[in-house]
Structure 1
Amino acid sequence: MNVLVLGSGGREHAISWKIAQSSQIDKLFIAPGNAGTNQVGTNVDIEADDFQGIKKFCLENKIDYVVVGPEKPLVDGIADFFQDDPEIRHIAVIGPNKSAARLEGSKDFSKQFMKKYNIPTAKYQTFTKDNLEEGYAFLDGMKPPYVLKADGLAAGKGVVILNDLNEAKDELRAMLEDAKFGDASSSVVIEEFLDGIELSVFVITDGQSYKILPEAKDYKRIGEGDTGLNTGGMGAVSPVPFADTAFMDKVENQVIIPTIKGLKNEGIDYVGFIFFGLINVKKDPFVIEYNCRLGDPETEVVIPRLKSDILELFEGVATRTLSERDVVFDERAASTVVMVSGGYPGAYEKEKNISGLNGIFDSMIFHAGTKQDGPTYVTAGGRVLCVTSYGKKLEAALDKTYDNLKKIDFENAYYRKDIGFDLEEYD
């Protein structure tokens, strides 16, 4: 089986690492990849949104499966591009089509969908610059904090939470009238703030059946104690101690099953991963958002805990036989902590030599923003790499991760030292 993975981050390295272990893999390519993916497959100098370049490569290399890591190619319709072209229609794309990807691509669409199918979520209303005054009035009727979400994709920066009413109104105007997030904020969803603790739940589906993957909790803020600016993710853990059997039964019955049934009822053929961004409010799950792919850095703990052959699952998706496949979890806990460039998520420097990578033996390193310069690895992004470890308990996994992080260094490197500590009360 020849497989092409699209993307260049830690998520794609973890997926590629898992695919490389499959007994079914013949050739594995990653486009464009990073210095880590090149260790498990062959990097290809094609961007994930270059559909014509991807088509050409797939035909020349007899690709059987295209696994789409990031959301943008999915929202832009890469699955439709393959399905509509007779030359490449036979190649299976692991990822939803453009219509299905609206679950992530449009906050308004996903909120309407949840409301229609009684999926628990925060109360909301959507506004454009044409009814800005109504937006102000809606804010007047709410209690702080105020949650404003750009409708479209905004590279993870389109959600703003403010405590001051006037600041919230100024932000709404900036998003709508000043196009703060470009076309992504031509519509803005304002919703009530839900007070609880967040987690991520993932399923893979062939449009008919689904399999639930290990859950995870990620940490988005740059600063310890969940302070400072939002990032693409500073670490993650799995399993999540408060996601016990009773809670996960609620997730499956109140969220997952209605979502799968709702998609079928809407005539939306959803194939691939669904990422449920949830919040636990007094032991009840509410959906904060949907994503149409795996999360990052959650993938770096979810995929290591998946004992099943991932290509078996992809084959089940492609042939609509997923119900016949088994999903087996590793009972051990997994933790990952992300090492980032100094200044991230603001301006940061690149081309910093990374040392210590060869001294890690009992943890996994998943590369994100790295490249290779001869025998040397150098930084090439804000989130540079993450260290993932197993442990019988979460505390043991975290100890191992932090011990190994101390061995890796580059100029102005930074990582949070409190990942998972907020979960100690649930042990």
Structure 2
Amino acid sequence: MKALVIGSGGREHALVWKLHQEGYEVFCAPGNGGICQDATCYEAKSVDELLQLALKEKIDLTVVGPEAYLAQGVVDVFESHGLKIFGPNRKASQLECSKVYAKLLMDECGIPTARFRLFDDPVQAEKYVERCEFPIVIKADGLAQGKGSYVVMSREEAFNVIDSLMRKKIFGESGERIVVEEFLRGKEMSMMVLTDGKTYVPMMSAMDYKKIYDGDRGPNTGGMGSIAPAPHYSENLWRSVREEILDKLFPALEKRNVIYKGVLYLGLMITQDGPKVLEFNCRFGDPETQSILLLLESDLLEMLQAVVEGELERRKILWSKEKAVCVVLVSGGYPESYKTGFEIFGLNKVKDAIVFHAGTKKVDGKIVTSGGRVLNVCAKADTYAKARRRVYEEIEKIHFENMYYRKDIGLFIS
């Protein structure tokens, strides 16, 4: 069996690592400095280049990592050529690609979410926030690499965010429309669900840490760490998510002639009134996947194949009862401006954790930084505290110039 993973981040390295562990022949495009140790990497980046690679190598199953490829219709193109590919098609991926689409759909079918207003005119948006009680949340409509959501504490800050998104267009067309919504209080949780269009099965729950600084302070990032399972997950909670969200969502999509196949990521806030949807993503979470896959005891490729072939109902997914912790090492200055090209030292000294590469590349035989989020250091143990201790002890062995990471991932969780 040959598997192709599309992408170049920590999530993709975790997928490659798991498939490689299972004994499959793994390819990745474009990959990174660490992925190439577990897979054959190609520089293919465009949808057409990826298609030609899959045809040339006779790939049995392709797994899509980043959401941008889903938005470009890579699933539609592969399927039109008779290739098996894991991920929702372009129409279904609107759940992530447009916050406006997702909020209107949730409103239409009664899925619990934050109260909201939509705007395509910055002046009207500013008039509305003048009357708001703070904090509020402002979100760009389109894709923004996990950085398009802002918790806003004042009117002045709201004006700045609206100006940045809608006039300065820091995320391009993604900010032409915005969502302004109420700030929900509670505990955040990430849940991913596999679905073949008929059956849906929950994966291990997780909790991620989005803010750059300890104590959940500072701007949002693509993710600074994760733990799995989420400490506040329960069977009763899953029952609420299934009945109040999923049992409403999938029939509503079907009415719109959308058959959703792949993984659906639910960003949830567990409020005093029950779980409410913060966002939908149409791909594996990053860095949640890095933690979750450490705990997966079933064969990953068989699971993904079952989704693509409509056989999910026949599969039982087995999980370890251990706990997993992932800490992300980033370039100093991230998520704003940062420098790259620094050699990474000490990777060969790490023995008691797994390091998934994100923003790295190989230059003259050396691994150097090439992005904002650089490495993911992950470990599992029978308690969060033990897994956390392993991760931070191994991080001490790694060094690159301007390296930064949060010190509180998994802290205060027994």
* TM-score (normalizing by structure 2): 0.96
Match of 1:29 among 21, 27, 30: 27
After the TM superposition, which of the residue ranges 409-418 and 156-165 deviates more from structure 2?
Answer: 156-165
| Structure-2 separation of matches of 1:167 and 1:355 | 40
Distance apart, 1:168 and its partner CA: 1.6
Matches within 5 A, 1:233-252: 233-252=223-242
Counterpart in 2 of 1:20? 20
Q: Which amino acid aligns with 1:15?
A: L
> Partner of 2:44 in structure 1?
46
CA 1:307/1:385 → structure 2, altered by over 3 Å: closer, same or farther? same
Aligned to 1:92: 84
1:57-136 equivalences in 2 (<5 Å): 57-84=53-80, 88=81, 90-129=82-121, 132-136=122-126
Q: What's the Cα RMSD here? A: 1.6
Residue 203 of structure 2 corresponds to which residue in structure 1? 213
**1:105 and 1:151 in contact (8 A); partners too:** yes
AA partner of residue 284 (structure 1): G
The verdict on how the C-alpha distance between 1:115 and 1:161 changes in structure 2, with shifts beyond 3 A counting, is same
* DSSP-derived class of the 1:300 partner: helix
Gaps of 5+ in 1: none
Cα displacement string for residues 284-337 of structure 1 (whole angstroms, at most 9, x for unaligned residues)? 111000000011111100111111101111111121111101111111000010
Taking a change above 3 Å as real, the CA distance of residues 412 and 96 of structure 1, as seen in their structure-2 partners, is: same
CA–CA distance in structure 2, aligned partners of residues 344 and 302 of structure 1:
25
Structure 1 residue 74, shift from structure 2 partner: 0.2
Say if 1:343 and 1:180 are closer, same or farther in 2 by CA, change over 3 A: closer
> 2:152 maps to which residue?
162
Structure 2: runs of 5 or more not aligned = none
Aligned to 1:153: 143
Q: Which amino acid aligns with 1:39?
A: Q
Q: Cα distance, 1:197 vs. partner? A: 1.9
The match for 1:200 among 190, 201, 206 is 190
Identity percentage of aligned residues: 39
CA shift for structure 1 position 223: 0.8
8 Å CA contact 1:142–1:192 kept in 2: the answer is no
8 Å CA contact 2:149–2:220 kept in 1: the answer is no
1:186 is aligned to 176
TM-score normalised by L of structure 1: 0.93
Equivalent position amino acid for 1:135 in 2: A
Which of 375, 389, 402 is 1:412 aligned to?
402
Distance verdict in 2 for CA 1:260–1:408, change over 3 Å: same
- Shift of residue 263, structure 1, vs aligned partner: 2.1
Moved more, 160-169 or 300-309: 160-169
Check 1:351–1:171 CA distance in 2 against 1; reply closer, same or farther (3 A cut): closer
Instruction: Report deviation, 1:349.
Output: 1.9
> Contact between 2:262 and 2:307, CA under 8 Å: does it hold in 1?
yes
Provide Cα deviations, 1:125-158, integer angstroms capped at 9, x if missing partner: 11112xx454344324431112111111122222
Following superposition, the deviation at residue 181 of structure 1 comes to 2.6
Partner of 2:129: 139
C-alpha spacing 1:300/1:123, structure 2 compared with 1 (3 Å): same
Letter of the aligned partner of 1:34 in structure 2? Answer: N
Q: Give the letter for the 2:33 counterpart.
A: A
Matched position secondary structure for 2:197? coil
Task: Give the Cα–Cα distance (whole angstroms) in 2 for the partners of residues 124 and 154 of structure 1.
Answer: 19
AA in 2 matched with 1:352: F
State how many pairs are aligned.
Answer: 414
CA distance in 1, matches of 2:18, 2:160: 46
Q: Distance in 2 between matches of 1:259 and 1:120?
A: 11
Tell me the SS of whatever aligns to 1:353: coil
Deviation per residue, 1:238-288 (Å, 9 max, x gap): 111111222222122212332223222322111111100111112611100
For the residue of structure 2 that corresponds to 1:386, the secondary structure is: strand
Bigger mean CA offset, 348-357 vs 200-209: 348-357
Pick closer, same or farther for the CA change 1:363–1:351 going to 2, 3 Å. same
Deviation, structure 1 residue 173: 4.3
| Mapped partners of 1:57, 1:200: distance in 2 | 33
- Residue 287 (1) aligns with residue 283 (2): no
Moved more, 171-180 or 12-21: 171-180
1:158 partner letter:
G
Do the aligned partners of 1:13 and 1:36 also contact (CA within 8 Å) in 2? yes
Q: Which amino acid aligns with 2:166?
A: L
Contact 2:99/2:140, CA 8 A, preserved across alignment: yes
Task: Pick closer, same or farther for the CA change 1:399–1:22 going to 2, 3 Å.
Answer: same
Task: Tell me which of 306, 312, 315 is aligned to 1:322.
Answer: 312
Cα pair 1:203 1:212 within 8 Å, conserved: yes
Distance 2:322 2:385 in 1: 11
Shift of 1:393: 0.8
